[in-house]
Amino acid sequence: MASNRYLWCESFKLDDAPRLPCPRCNDGQLFVDRETISSATVADSLEYFEQNGMDPEFDYHRFVLLMTCNNGKCRETVAVAGTTKYEEVKNWMGEVSYSTIFEPQTMIPGPALMAIPNGTPSKATEAIRQAFTAFWGDRGSAANRLRISVERIMDAENIDPAKKLHQRIDDFGVAHPELMDTLDALRHVGNLGSHDGDVGREELLAAFEIYQEWLRNYYGRYKDRIDAMTAELLANKGKLVSKF
């Protein structure tokens, strides 16, 4: 997911479009349906061409397209919109051509940047999925949605909603001191999104990555499962008796 940084590129050439995970089935990958691509030159470029003549360097388009899940049992579609620009390419003979670069600014529904285990509170899950969509065009909003998801977890844990989030995390940490740091880190990232209006791409991807592990350990009981399998393999000389 977010740990696979190469998937979440800010731009791509059509032949190198990333194989993003399907937001519906999570098993399939999304592929660009080339027949659905539509684009038009932006007004600023048209005005520039009228005054200065055609120049690929200033030729910007807005595009829409669909990406489709390759899982035959799913076939989900994701609507993508954004801008394109041209990149100069020279071959070995020095001949110049131009490649189209796609820069997505929205994907609906947003591909999952992290796994959300069963047991995660539904309102927290909803906020996280909203962050998936916001990631492409408004990273500040995406960070803020992650912060809100932490608030919804505190709600589910029946921690006083009248308190500020850092106080609620402190209260949660009384019973779970080893789980506080991740929530506090997410709070800080969310604060950047709320106050500064933007968050760095790497910082946001890191937030998704560490949040996934937190949810997997807390709601998915992943560490407990690993510990139980390890103990059984040790007790039975390398054999598993239980089903995990």
- Distance between CA atoms of residues 41 and 149, nearest Å: 39
Contact 147, 134 (CB under 8 A): no
Name the residue with tokens 């998937």. Answer: 7
Q: Supply the pLDDT for residue 136.
A: 94
- Provide the token pair at 194: 């709320």
Name the residue with tokens 């059984």. Answer: 232
Count the alpha carbons within 13 Å of 94 in the hemisphere toward its beta carbon.
0
Q: Supply the pLDDT for residue 244.
A: 64
CA-based angle 116:196:114, to the nearest 5?
15
Count the alpha carbons within 13 Å of 76 in the hemisphere toward its beta carbon.
20
Give this prediction's pTM: 0.86
Choose among 76, 158, 82, 145: nearest CA to 116: 145
- Provide the token pair at 51: 């005054």
- Long-range own/partner contacts, residues 119-125 (CB < 8 A, 24 or more apart): 119/219, 119/220, 120/153, 120/215, 120/219, 121/152, 121/153, 121/155, 121/156, 123/149, 123/152, 123/155, 123/156, 124/149, 124/150, 124/152, 124/153, 124/156, 125/149
How does pLDDT run along the chain (244 residues), one tens digit per residue?
677 888 899 999 999 999 999 999 988 999 999 999 999 999 999 999 999 999 888 999 999 999 999 999 999 999 999 999 998 887 777 777 889 999 999 999 999 999 999 899 999 999 999 999 999 999 999 999 999 999 999 999 999 999 999 999 999 999 999 999 999 999 999 998 877 777 899 999 999 999 999 999 999 777 777 778 888 888 887 777 777 6
Q: Supply the pLDDT for residue 208.
A: 96
List the end-to-end C-alpha distance of the chain, in Å, as a whole number.
Answer: 23
Q: Supply the pLDDT for residue 4.
A: 85
